[in-house]
Structure 1
Amino acid sequence: MTVIEMAGAVHDTDLLVQRFEEQRPRLRSVAQRMLGAPAEAEDAVQDTWLRLSRADVDAIDNLPGWLTTTVGRVCLDRLRSGPVRHERPVDGPEEERTAADPGGRDPEQEAVLSESVGQALEVVLDTLGPTERLAFVLHDMFAVSFDEIATVVDRSPAAVRQIASRARRRVQGRSAAPEVDPARQRRVVAAFLAASREGRFEELLTLLDPHVVLRADPAAVRMGGAAETRGASAVAAFFSGRAQAAVPALVDALPGALVIADGRNRLVISFTVTDRIIGIEVVADPEQLGELDLVVDRSEGPVR
């Protein structure tokens, strides 16, 4: 290797380290939700770095997504191999909570609530099996797609969706934590649909996490739009003035929307909500639609 080639290799390594460190807070948050103990979470993040350092980085199209699913796989292996130490309640690090609560709580109230949420959620997550826990944490808390999770657990996306749905029902049935409160999720989604129909762009922005991801299946893409759209501004622009025919619905027990035409379900929109909306999935494939548990939601009143 020449001196120039060696210099280039060092530069590439430094760049990879920098990109990994940018994702470390998110990876630590995923690992702590999965494993509970900070020490275990740090070990999982370090294992993820080791796997990245041995991987063909040029073949990785989406590094944040690759790292998230990889740390999930590492955590799943640890959960399956034996008990994990739970040293304290699970709380996402402060840098992960980028969105302010619309309720306007002050920092002291937020800290108290964060602790109570961590305690409640930790108890409930402990009741889930490793695969259920992974599916719930990655999809419902970090908006990882079912297709990506399926590669981690070696199941079909439809099977992963059912696993996550089962885990979600158990969490909602045993926890009053605001992060997974169904009533709060319904209010956020109802407000989003109303703002979308009426073209209130600024209001859409307040309801979306800055890093929100919108994903659409190939059938939905053919109807117009992109397979993936990232960022609050781009997603708000896409939805502004739309959702005219969308009916509020429960999609696998989560608040969402359903478009019905000629007596048939044509399109489903599902949302992942924490403080704000962090993930949106649009499904139009008839076979996929047939696998979803869909219930029209009348609780929000008539659709305007």
Structure 2
Amino acid sequence: MSAPKRVKRAISGWVVLNKPYDMTSTQAVGKVRWLFSAAKAGHAGTLDPLATGILPIALGEATKAVPQVQDGTKVYRFAIAWGSATTTDDTEGAVIATSDVRPDRAALEAVLPAFTGTILQRPPIFSALKIDGERAYDLARAGEVVELAPREIDVDAITLLEHGSESSVLEVTCGKGTYVRSLARDIGEALGTRGHVSLLHRSAVGPFNDADALTIDQLEALTLEERDRLLKPVWSGFVDLPEVRLDALQATAVRHGNSVLLTGAGAPVTLDECWASFKGEVLATGWVEFGQFQPRRVFN
């Protein structure tokens, strides 16, 4: 007899996964979804297969909060291997250029300010960006010439943690759309040498960081009930946004997609982005205009 079909559950919340090395983000989501028997799952911010670290996985209603978490600030710790450039700008690709130049600490620290603030960055050709509907990495693997235009990114800070003649370890705090592989490539070129990422760990995404993280091995060792108790609530994805608390009548209106007038001392008049709650539960994301909360996305 075949095993009984697994019942998918309408469970909601966040799993802050420490994604292992050599696993795609899609594979990680599939594994976590299976472990929780969740009917619906998604992730906030793709990690390269060779990268480790924070991959926020949304179950159920938390998938509606993915855009807010995905747009949050990210922190990466990465190593640059000096002396060679690769097709993928990391260890997965073939070497395409080499250099005998090895930067010293002073030279490296001197160029880092040029990579902070709002800067232009050319994404790696092996990336998930689309060109005429096709993924850049698919075109690159097929041997086609891939040209990606530079894009504006925001880098809040970049710090040198360790320096050696063959590699250096840095930490970067940055916004959405930043490619660390491109940073490594461009820093190497700015120093008159070549470089590629040899280690990459994401330590924070929006409100989630390494302190919250669970490994797949840890999850596999637990019962389903124990896993459920480790789920972070849907609202934990919004802790960086203002919260608007509603009463019962307002909550009913918002559940039907209607705007509501906010009353009481301290009620906001204008907010570009916020979330509304009732008795601690997420009702909707939206904004406040002329003292009215306008729902953008309603949660069940």
TM tier, shorter chain? under 0.3
Q: Return the structure number with greater strand share.
A: 2
Q: Which has the larger radius of gyration?
A: 2
Taking structure 2 as the reference length, what is the TM-score of the superposition? 0.24
Report 1 or 2 for greater relative contact order, CA contacts < 8 Å, sequence distance ≥ 6.
2
Scaled by the length of structure 1, the TM-score of the pair is: 0.24
Q: Comparing both structures, which one devotes a greater share of its residues to helix?
A: 1
